[in-house]
Amino acid sequence: MGTAIPTLLGRHPDGLALTNAKGEQRAFVDPKRLGGRFVLEDLWVMQGSLCDLKCTHCYTASSPSNNRLEQIAFTELRPHLDTAARFGVQKICFTGGEVFVNEAVLRGRAKRNEEFVRSLEYALEIAPVEILTNGRRYIRHHFDVLRQLRERHGDRLRVRITLESPRAAEHDGIRGKGTFAQTVETIKQLMEMGFVPVLTAERPFLSEQTDEEIRAHFQGLFRGPVEVNLIENVLEMGNQLVQLGQRGQEPKPEVFVTTNCFSSLNRAPESLMCHFSRCVQKSEGVLRYYPCPVIYDDARFELGTTLEESFRRVHIAHKNCYDYCLKGKGATCRTRPL
Ligand code: SF4
Ligand code: SF4
């Protein structure tokens, strides 16, 4: 474990240029190590790209018909959770798509996503868990199990729900008619169970000017306490790629970020998710590791099929690296309360 960190280059089918025409070096981030041993703080589990909604800006272009990222069954995930435990994982986050649906749930053949429930129960024995959900209706089929898990684990289980705006029309304009009312109702029901829901919003969609206004407007929707988490940048990659594909154009999701960019953008490599996180995803029947949940389904950015393999240098090369993590104030998928 104390050996030199392998670079992504050797695994890059198309090859990544590590210097540009001016001779500047491409920026990179090394995985976190303590005492010569790799350390994982956050494990992200991408539970597929299937979703009951079809939001206009969804960066994975998730929808009721997008099966490109596949659901991960419990038996497939279990050994990866065990490995994450060995590397000291501190938080496990489930995201998608919508984690509470799979094909059977979405088509009305099953009430609950049992594979997800088993993974969730197991993950909670390892580390605190955060579930990212649209909070619309399918989570409600799982209230019994969420209530039981809350009783057993308390605040070790958190539920993160996106509200695009504190105003129904603005939220529904992005997520679909009626979704604001459904989601707000779900949040209230979760609060009755004792959860303090984490409400997530994206700053570019909000008309509020200050953090205080944002917090106050979201909190004003509810009687009990909520945590408000703000994402600084919006990703539209998925839909951009779909639109390009429809026009017959090839996507070009690469950027050249130089080592100097870290200082000029005032960002430390250690602050980026690729330093302390990994994301496991499944496509074409294989579980694959990515540096973070922001990059998916692109073989050029894969880090291998095991967590151990994934502890390698990550070159900052994806369009999302700049659009999401580096631009402006910089965004992160980690909860950062207002
Ligand atoms: S943004 Fe979330 S809720 Fe909307 S389509 Fe994408 S995964 Fe589903
Ligand atoms: S998107 Fe962000 S966290 Fe992911 S590899 Fe790029 S810089 Fe790192």
Residue 23 host element (H or E)? none
Asked if 337 and 229 count as a contact pair (C-beta separation under 8 A), the reply is yes
What does the pLDDT read at residue 14?
A: 46
Q: What is the pTM of this model?
A: 0.92
For 262-324, give the DSSP string.
Answer: HHHTT--GGGSHHHHEEEEEEETTEEEEESSTTS-S-GGG--BSSHHHH-S-EE--BHHIIII
pLDDT at 74: 98
Element (H, E) at 21: none
CB count within 10 Å of CB 155 equals 10
Which SS3 state, helix, strand or coil, does residue 196 take? coil
* Cα of 196 from ligand 1 centre, angstroms: 22
Q: Using a 6 Å cutoff on CB, does residue 198 contact ligand 2?
A: no
pLDDT at 112: 98
**Residue 132 CA to ligand 1 centre (angstroms):** 10
For every residue of 207-247, DSSP letters joined together read: ---SHHHHHHHHHTT-SS--EEEEESS---HHHHHHHHHHT
Mutate to test the pocket of ligand 1, among 52, 53, 94 (most ligand atoms within 8 A of CB): 53
- What structural domains does the chain harbor? 9-326 (3.20.20.70)
137 touches ligand 1 (CB under 6 Å): no
3 state DSSP class of 44: strand
pLDDT at 323: 86
For ligand 1, what atom is nearest to the CA of residue 60?
6
Nearest CA-CA partner of 303 in 100, 44, 20, 130: 44
Low-confidence ranges of the chain (pLDDT < 70): 1-15, 236-246, 249-253
Nearest CA to ligand 2 atom 4: 292
Ligand nearest to the Cα of 56, by number: 1
Q: Whose CA is nearest to atom 4 of ligand 1?
A: 55
The pLDDT of residue 20 is 83
| Half-sphere exposure in the Cβ direction for 2 (13 Å, CA) | 3
The token pair that represents 58 in the structure block: 């969804």
pLDDT at res. 12: 45
